[in-house]
Structure 1
């Protein structure tokens, strides 16, 4: 019964976004572009997430991009040109994003299978049934592949053959957000967040639990009021992990010791990023916040995108990137959050979804737009729309 509710109740939460208690989307902001954006290439990856509420994140390596669609298409692309090297149809539903490394590509399915392919050829190396739906990105590490399932389990598998090396299990509440944060491997430690608001650090090789921290405290009497889910992206930098929960808190934790450096009440389902000691997060109303990473004190906030269901932010160079539910990708100034540029990703598919939904407001239930955070590699921005369009952009530098 618990698993049944885990699947259905998050859909109810999404459906609630159409009521009067939720912040309506702000109109598209008007501004004069401060920088020019060049589209380097784009490609269609099947039907994207289809009609499902998923976060299918691509994997970007030094030379390649590995991407997938919910209907089972997996592609290897040249990072610089977008040229396809191979395509594989797994003929199964992909629900977790793509992990890559050590010559392997790993994906999770709706039936709880971890599928591992050869990075060179796309051929199946091995697969493992884990018993619970996989909605997170597998972490491919030295000797291990770390995979999280929706039933609150973290699996440490032998990278070569999928044999179970260790298992971490935690109790999750009946009511959760639909989705999972992605486990992160850093300096021999695996960090993972769960629907009960816990952030856990384990030894990647042995699964030994170094520490557990609750990010915020559940409040209220009802299950909905006490919902505290670590669903968004957390970030590791300089041996500090920054994590935020829905209806909970934003915390900075020392990775080696598990000691909380600072914490402040805040709510987000998207997540955080850090760049040059500045922390960026999008709260539950889609207000973008910039804070000092050392103290957690406020620096600026941008609320002109309020209600536009923003992705997690990604910061690089002089910019902060966010995507919205209409498929717009924004470049904002890292100094004050002012708008620098904007492009539209997946234009045709968005217009079709708008026509089907009947209005902008009803698109809160749509699978269109940008849900996965942008990825930056060598100052090139890669973004995958829910519709399946994967595109690469770069700021045109002035001569």
Structure 2
């Protein structure tokens, strides 16, 4: 690792180095086989109801978006598709013919993606409407909301574009001395009429009309003596319940913020060593740690409700709170259902051996899981 941390690497390829950070810290020099899970005793009935395909999902920051019965996703080689979660069939599909740097954002009808050439591409029902060049790399799926397209860049600038014309409306530049940034999806979500973004270790509320900051609160602060140790950034997904918005700072903390239009305050933070986002409900926030531990925190005060090491070393996705279970995917293609109240195993189902590429989502009473090979699986309860 010392060679990677030379000043030349830090200066020339900061984004690539940061992408390797989580993998190196978790796996070390080689991938260690996880403990055997034993016989599966299904206490929760789950059946596969359909499969589909989108193309290899080798994106550094895979994201899957849901709107009603539509699931929006993309492949690394430029396929963007809206899938009907009821049947697994295409609502529409577009082949852009160029590589993408992040997942697709949108509402199923409209979609926005960013190419590796740093170009924002906007689609309506699979038909390209416009393109706009961007000044820097993007690893976070754009947000389409309120007639605008919002982009969070790797350099932590935020840009807004008119959805119909592609005209740039405003840019919010972030003054940052950080040498490294994560090659991973960050935080950009609407909360009421405020655009909330993750900038370094802080949640920032912006006026979506002008980009003017309304408030700013810290979830984590830089620590350590070198650039790697001081790296701090917020990662998607986030968990919202009413005015409570909870998020993870990469390998540092999980915390919740009380968000109002013109102000916000930190409710709690807890030390945590994960690199994937969180999910939850009105009572709890769920997260996965780098070692495969799954943890539930009380949403009100951050106290720990339960934790389980059963999935140790399986490199888990961010979780999904669904019914009476917490659902996570792993690097071996398994989807695990854990008890929402205690983390006990309820069931597990297989996809393929390429590994689950993104946090599971739910649409039209269907659990949708995407693997790195680009296979899409739909599951429903028995």
1:5 paired residue among 13, 27, 30: 13
Kindly provide the CA deviation profile for residues 222-243 of structure 1, in whole angstroms up to 9, marking residues without a partner as x: 2222222212322222111111
Q: Map residues 149-168 of structure 1 onto 2, 5 A cutoff.
A: 149-168=153-172
Q: Map residues 94-109 of structure 1 onto 2, 5 A cutoff.
A: 94-101=100-107, 103-109=109-115
After TM superposition, where is structure 1 displaced by more than 6 Å over at least 4 residues in a row? none
1:375 paired residue among 361, 368, 373: 361
Q: Map residues 89-238 of structure 1 onto 2, 5 A cutoff.
A: 89-101=95-107, 103-119=109-125, 122-170=126-174, 171=176, 173-194=178-199, 196-238=200-242
Match of 2:303 in 1: 297
CA distance in 2, matches of 1:243, 1:67: 22
Relative distance call for 1:4 and 1:116 in structure 2 (3 A) is farther
CA distance in 2, matches of 1:96, 1:206: 25
Unaligned runs of 5+ in 1: 351-367
Q: Map residues 277-288 of structure 1 onto 2, 5 A cutoff.
A: 277-288=283-294
CA distance in 2, matches of 1:332, 1:34: 10
TM-score (norm 2): 0.90
Relative distance call for 1:88 and 1:143 in structure 2 (3 A) is closer
Kindly provide the CA deviation profile for residues 42-70 of structure 1, in whole angstroms up to 9, marking residues without a partner as x: 11212222xx5x23223222232232111
Q: Map residues 22-41 of structure 1 onto 2, 5 A cutoff.
A: 24-30=32-38, 31-41=40-50
CA distance in 2, matches of 1:36, 1:172: 51
Match of 2:5 in 1: none
> What's the CA shift for 1:147?
1.0
Is the Cα contact below 8 Å between 2:35 and 2:312 reproduced in 1? no
> What's the CA shift for 1:283?
2.0
> What's the CA shift for 1:23?
9.2
Is the Cα contact below 8 Å between 2:362 and 2:368 reproduced in 1? yes
Moved more, 317-326 or 155-164: 155-164
Is the Cα contact below 8 Å between 1:236 and 1:242 reproduced in 2? yes
Match of 1:342 in 2: 348
Match of 2:334 in 1: 328
Unaligned runs of 5+ in 2: 1-7
> What's the CA shift for 1:18?
4.0
Is the Cα contact below 8 Å between 1:383 and 1:392 reproduced in 2? yes
> What's the CA shift for 1:41?
0.7
Kindly provide the CA deviation profile for residues 372-393 of structure 1, in whole angstroms up to 9, marking residues without a partner as x: 1010124311111111011111
The alignment's C-alpha RMSD in Å is 2.1
Q: Secondary structure at the match of 1:296?
A: coil
TM-score (norm 1): 0.87
Relative distance call for 1:376 and 1:300 in structure 2 (3 A) is same
CA distance in 1, matches of 2:20, 2:284: 35
Is the Cα contact below 8 Å between 2:70 and 2:363 reproduced in 1? no
CA distance in 1, matches of 2:27, 2:280: 32
Kindly provide the CA deviation profile for residues 231-285 of structure 1, in whole angstroms up to 9, marking residues without a partner as x: 2322222111111212322221111121111222223210111113111111232
Relative distance call for 1:92 and 1:182 in structure 2 (3 A) is farther
Is the Cα contact below 8 Å between 2:100 and 2:114 reproduced in 1? yes
